């Protein structure tokens, strides 16, 4: 990956809604070159998708319950943790799965409508997988910051925080 591609990725990572004309101007390249780079990175699956960060606590009575689940597993011979992780990430409730260092092997992020729904997922789906030894569930009580965005009622706090 060259520096132009890296710069473009950094721009759209912070704001996926930037138009190609804006990206081109910010980077000092042509709009055609910008489109070609985006197409290349999408084809190579460097860019996997574009999404919005939504504060679901605003304007709705319905809020999703998010949980982070630490999962201890027995890795499978020849494939390690990959097959177990794949089995877990195929559940529609699962938003993310990470291989971790430390006491637990996998960290699983899931969403449900209620704590009871999350509990049922853990007891009926996750913990019944052969390789799963144990789980520890942590419920997200409040989001303060996610993907560089501060969740706050203070307008001064609502800005993208850019790392140096």
Closest by CA position to 131, among listed 75, 70, 68: 75
Across the range 98-112, mean pLDDT stands at 95
Lowest-confidence region among 14-18, 32-36, 87-91: 14-18
The residue ranking higher by pLDDT, 160 or 129, is: 129
**pLDDT for 62:** 63
Q: What's the rounded Cα separation, in Å, for the pair 93 and 118? A: 9
For residue 1 the two structure tokens come to 């990956």
40-72: per-residue pLDDT in tens? Answer: 999 998 888 887 766 666 666 566 789 999 999
In 3D, which of 65, 64, 81, 83 has the Cα closest to residue 73? 81
CA pair distance 103, 100, nearest whole angstrom? 9
State how far the Cα of 26 lies from the Cα of 39, in Å rounded to an integer.
18
- What average pLDDT does the structure give for the chain? 85
What's the confidence (pLDDT) of residue 60? Answer: 60
Q: Write the pLDDT tens digit of every residue in 122-137.
A: 999 999 999 999 999 9
Closest to 6 measured CA to CA, from 35, 46, 33, 36? 46
Residue 16 binned pLDDT confidence (cut-offs 50, 70, 90): confident
Predicted confidence at residue 61, as pLDDT, reads: 58
- Arithmetic mean of pLDDT, 71-78: 90
pLDDT for the residue 98: 97
In this prediction, residue 158 has a pLDDT band, given cuts at 50, 70 and 90, of very low
């Amino acid at each position: 990956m060259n520096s132009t591609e890296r710069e473009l990725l950094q721009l759209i990572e912070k704001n996926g809604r930037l138009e190609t004309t804006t990206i081109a101007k910010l980077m000092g390249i042509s709009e055609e070159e910008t489109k070609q780079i985006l197409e290349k990175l999408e084809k190579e699956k460097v860019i996997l998708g574009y999404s919005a960060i939504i504060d679901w606590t605003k304007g709705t009575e319905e809020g999703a319950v998010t949980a982070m689940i630490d999962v201890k597993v027995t890795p499978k011979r020849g494939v390690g943790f990959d097959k177990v992780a794949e089995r877990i990430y195929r559940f529609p409730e699962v938003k993310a799965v990470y291989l971790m260092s430390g006491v637990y092997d996998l960290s699983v992020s899931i969403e449900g409508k209620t704590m009871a729904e999350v509990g049922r997922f853990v007891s009926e789906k996750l913990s019944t997988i052969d390789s799963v030894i144990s789980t520890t569930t942590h419920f997200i009580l409040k989001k303060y910051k996610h993907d560089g965005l501060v969740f706050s009622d203070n307008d001064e706090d609502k800005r993208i925080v850019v790392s140096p």
